[in-house]
Amino acid sequence: MIFNGKILLDFFFRIYTHVCSYKWLLLLLLFPGLFSGCSHFTTGTPYKYSGEKIKGVSLVAPREPVTDSVFIPVRNVNAEWVSVMPYGFVEEGKPNFHYAGKSGEWKWWGETPQGTAETIRMAHQHGLKVMLKPHVWIGRGGFTGHLTFTTEADWLVFEKEYGEYLLEFARVADSSDVEIYCIATEMQNFVAKRPQFWHRIIKEIKGIYKGQLTYAENWDTYQDVPFWDELDYIGVDAYFPLSEKQHPSVAELKKGWQSHLKALSAYAGEHQKPVLFTEYGYRSADFTAHKPWETNPDHPENEQVQVDAYRAFFEEVWSRDWLAGGFVWKWFPGLEKGRKARDWYSPQHRPAEQTLADFYKN
């Protein structure tokens, strides 16, 4: 069959005008994937993470001072990292931000700069690496992603005081030789409405702390963050919905991961950065994989489905080239032997603890 070159090019031009720019077509045809401005025509470059997998647990800040013995169980599950998580607080609808460094006194020792620094020191003493990850608590536990203010004046008050909090713990991260500083957690609305704050605070943090940086965004909005290229990891709190069943099989859970894995892989390739699951985990309860971010007290306890969700995660997700690793949610320091954590997300003293230890070991 003989093709008329002019007709063929004209055909491609007509299609291309609907998706990109006419003038770049010839170069795009000659060099596929060269221009990122038209995602329909680029093939994308896969990203391959070359470091060691980050095998972490999310450490709940202790209310009272602890000894370094609390890190022995962490090592016993073959974890190599801990996420240290001091909280600050804001009342719903009010702009003033409260945290230990500002108030001087604080209810929980592990959320003060001094307690945080000592926690990090003890973790390092046990050979653990640390991600320092400040959190915000709103009112009675509102979702931080919905945080908003109605006036510019309130936004400016909050940004000033919240920014002081982030810089305070950036100084702790720097003086404590923290390996990763996660600048914030699940601030979706704040990020969307006030991107200029984030570009500025990242620059200020970099003036204090010289280690690696990430930010933890929720599983459904990580692609909306405008500043990933200023950080070292794409941080995702990985509560992806996998199945609507009460107790899906491991095979069904693996299947539920597929669309999410495809999107994550493409996004890592687009930014040429590794994805770090700044949180991942499942409650030991029925329907745990339906909406893993929800705590539904009406769902009966089911320890086996937590095990199965862990298995599916490690067997299907953990070895992906673009994944740097992750931090299981969550771990209570000093939990008495044989006593289950009050929070059903925790694998401690449940069958999922052994599952975690086995996969972290191998």
Encode pLDDT of 13-30 as tens digits. Answer: 333 334 333 333 333 334
Nearest to 240 by CA among 220, 216, 215: 220
Q: What is the pLDDT of residue 107?
A: 79
Q: What is the pLDDT of residue 287?
A: 98
What's the chain's average pLDDT? 89
Mean pLDDT along residues 156-163: 98
Alpha-carbon distance of 183 to 198, in angstroms, equals 10
Mean pLDDT along residues 37-63: 80
pLDDT-derived band at 212, boundaries 50, 70, 90: very high
Q: What is the pLDDT of residue 6?
A: 38
Mean pLDDT along residues 292-318: 96
Mean pLDDT along residues 336-355: 93
Alpha-carbon distance of 342 to 69, in angstroms, equals 21
Cis peptide before 203 (omega within 30 of 0): no
CB atoms within 10 A of CB 22: 10
pLDDT of 227 above 90: yes
The domains found in the chain, sorted by start residue, are 1-43 (no CATH), 47-361 (3.20.20.80)
Mean pLDDT along residues 123-132: 98
pLDDT of 41 above 90: no
pLDDT of 171 above 80: yes
Q: What is the pLDDT of residue 64?
A: 94
pLDDT of 210 above 60: yes
pLDDT-derived band at 73, boundaries 50, 70, 90: very high
Express as a percent the part of the chain with pLDDT over 70: 87
Q: What is the pLDDT of residue 106?
A: 74
Lowest mean pLDDT among 177-181, 263-267, 335-339: 335-339
Mean pLDDT along residues 101-106: 69
Alpha-carbon distance of 226 to 234, in angstroms, equals 11
Q: What is the pLDDT of residue 204?
A: 98
pTM of the model: 0.87
pLDDT of 265 above 80: yes
pLDDT-derived band at 338, boundaries 50, 70, 90: confident
Residue type, 230: E
Q: What is the pLDDT of residue 121?
A: 98
Tens-place pLDDT, residues 1-12: 333 443 333 433
Mean pLDDT along residues 26-37: 39
Mean pLDDT along residues 226-230: 98
pLDDT of 229 above 50: yes
